[in-house]
Amino acid sequence: MDRSRTIFVAKCAAVLGVALPIVLWAHASGPDPRNTGGPGDNDNACAQSGCHTGTALNQGGGNIAIAFDSGTTYTPGSKVHVTLTITDSRARVYGFQASSRLSSNMRDGQAGSFVKGAQQLILCEDGTEIPATGCRSSAPLQFIEHSSPFTTNVISLDWNAPSTNVGNVIFYVAGNAANNDGNNTGDHIYTTSATLTPATSTGPKPTISAGGIADAFNYTTGVAPETWIAIFGTNLASETKTWDGDAAFGQGHLPTSVSGVSVTVNGKTAPVYFVSSGQIDILSPTDSATGTVAVVVTNANGTSDPFMVTKSSTLPAFYAPFSQGGKLFVTGVNPVSNPAEYWGKVGLDPRVSRPVKPGETIELFGTGWGPSTNSSITTDMVTFTAAPLVTQPTITIGGQPAQLSGGAGYLVSPGLYQFNVIVPNVPDGDQPISATLGSVTTANNVVITLQH
């Protein structure tokens, strides 16, 4: 079985503002919610006094069109690229507002979620910008719109389809073709709508292989909360793909589906990082239950039979991204280098510059080490505030105790733990590294390469 070790790296994005020479029009930063022309919206879709005046709705001689890169269908959990084209011979600048709604509740049923792009913002129905936790359940509709005017009549946006088949989804869109005269007169508002239907498939449903659930770093069978887990099987996904990290970190929560693939552990939805036909990597959700639990994979072809696996409170594993001769080799980081300097097995991990020297302090990483002292962090939250572990492990290298610099290990990002370890004076070579956390010990085939 070809097993792929994957680990995400946090990305930071800077948003650059562009100064505009004049006020282009009223509502230059976008209209209030409920101006897309959908059920329950303003009937004039902003073509009225106080917004844009001079021509009745859809009477300016132009139009707005909407197109989807997925055609007329959506795959649950996938990202759909949406293109809006506003056609108007008098227009000089452009704006828009769009919503996506359940056909079963066209007035108030939110379908999927929008991804904020450049010159865009997402509002909830109460007029506030959408928080990281999403719009409140009593007013769930999202409205994506321009945050500053576009100088092009072709506007792109992205939409995440619902993680499951929710039936038809209807997009309502209003476009503003403005004349750029510095006020709100003489502008033209156009509306349209389009429907996406769920994609149908006759392909085989996903199947989890026997023994096919383990931690994603050392492949110890089982699951534990806040632990990166690998699921192996067949027909798990139709493509190989990782999540969109920029979108995940920008919205404050990790995605719970990639390419229409979602996973539950003991009935709780798990963030999904990587999918392929034979492997899925997830972050096991927060859950105090232990014992035998069910893991279920869902994709466009259906839902797998429940796979029963033992769930423990911890499942500690070191980040060991490469294997050779049945051994898993740890790669560590020089804690004071900038840019990062990697130490470990030269020639195996291409990032590694040299082996580790006894007496040095090295940053090691892992997953499955249990709760931190910050109990407010939920599994799917994007947070990078280091929090000490509630229970500290005992680590040995080459059979000798290895002290933790600072005396603690930390949860440093979702499911990822860091230990600054002082390497003991042991012989050169590939020395075993292990840790004991309570009554649990890490895998016995993990090594770290040393050289005096």
pLDDT band at 245 (very low <50, low <70, confident <90, very high): low
Q: Is residue 20 scored above 90 in pLDDT?
A: no
Give the separation between CA 176 and CA 22, rounded to whole angstroms. 18
Do 418 and 404 touch, CB atoms closer than 8 A? Answer: no
- pLDDT given at position 10: 32
Nearest alpha carbon to residue 281 among 260, 301, 258, 300: 258
Q: Is residue 11 scored above 90 in pLDDT?
A: no
Domain ranges of the chain: 63-198, 207-311, 317-450
Query: To the nearest whole number, what is the mean pLDDT of the chain?
Result: 87
- pLDDT given at position 25: 32
Do 270 and 285 touch, CB atoms closer than 8 A? Answer: yes
Query: Comparing 63-198 with 207-311, is the CATH topology the same?
Result: yes
Q: Is residue 131 scored above 60 in pLDDT?
A: yes
Q: What is the mean pLDDT of residues 403-413?
A: 91
Q: What is the mean pLDDT of residues 145-161?
A: 95
Q: Is residue 251 scored above 90 in pLDDT?
A: no
Q: Sort 37 into a burial class: Cβ within 10 Å, 0-12 / 13-18 / 19+.
A: buried
Give the separation between CA 60 and CA 47, rounded to whole angstroms. 11
Do 190 and 64 touch, CB atoms closer than 8 A? Answer: yes
Q: List, in order, residues 6 or more apart from 301 with CB less than 8 Å away.
A: 201, 202, 203, 204, 205, 206, 235
The pTM of the full predicted model, rounded to 2 decimals, is: 0.65
Give the separation between CA 275 and CA 281, rounded to whole angstroms. 7
- pLDDT given at position 384: 62
pLDDT in tens, 293-325: 999 998 878 889 999 999 999 999 999 999 999
Q: What is the mean pLDDT of residues 227-248?
A: 86
Give the separation between CA 346 and CA 312, rounded to whole angstroms. 35
- The CATH superfamily of 207-311 is Immunoglobulins (2.60.40.10)
Give the separation between CA 270 and CA 261, rounded to whole angstroms. 11
- The CATH superfamily of 63-198 is Reeler domain (2.60.40.4060)
pLDDT band at 361 (very low <50, low <70, confident <90, very high): very high
User: 96 forms bridges with which residues in the sheet?
Assistant: 175
What number of other Cβ atoms are within 10 A of residue 281's Cβ? 25
**Distance (Å) of CA 446 to CA 3, 155, 318:** 16, 51, 8
Do 98 and 172 touch, CB atoms closer than 8 A? Answer: yes
Which of these ranges, 226-230, 250-254, 415-419, has the smallest mean pLDDT? 250-254
Q: Is residue 9 scored above 50 in pLDDT?
A: no
Q: What is the mean pLDDT of residues 244-262?
A: 72
SS3 content of the chain, % helix, strand, coil (to 5): 0, 45, 55
Q: Is residue 381 scored above 80 in pLDDT?
A: no
pLDDT band at 203 (very low <50, low <70, confident <90, very high): confident
- pLDDT given at position 143: 97
pLDDT in tens, 419-434: 999 999 999 999 999 9
- pLDDT given at position 2: 43
Max mean pLDDT among 102-106, 403-407, 410-414, 422-426 falls in 422-426
- pLDDT given at position 104: 84
**Distance (Å) of CA 222 to CA 121, 211, 316, 320, 435:** 41, 9, 11, 18, 17
Q: Where are the beta strands (DSSP E) in 60-167?
A: 63-68, 73-74, 79-87, 93-102, 113-115, 120-124, 142-146, 154-160
Q: Sort 439 into a burial class: Cβ within 10 Å, 0-12 / 13-18 / 19+.
A: exposed
Nearest alpha carbon to residue 21 among 92, 74, 100, 89: 92
- pLDDT given at position 256: 83
pLDDT band at 7 (very low <50, low <70, confident <90, very high): very low
DSSP output for 210-275: EEEEEETTT--BSB-TT-EEEEEEESS-SS-EE--HHHHHHHTB--S-BTTBEEEETTEE--EEEE
The more confident residue out of 355 and 164 is: 355
Do 77 and 165 touch, CB atoms closer than 8 A? Answer: no
pLDDT in tens, 57-110: 999 999 999 999 989 999 888 889 999 999 999 999 999 999 999 888 899 999
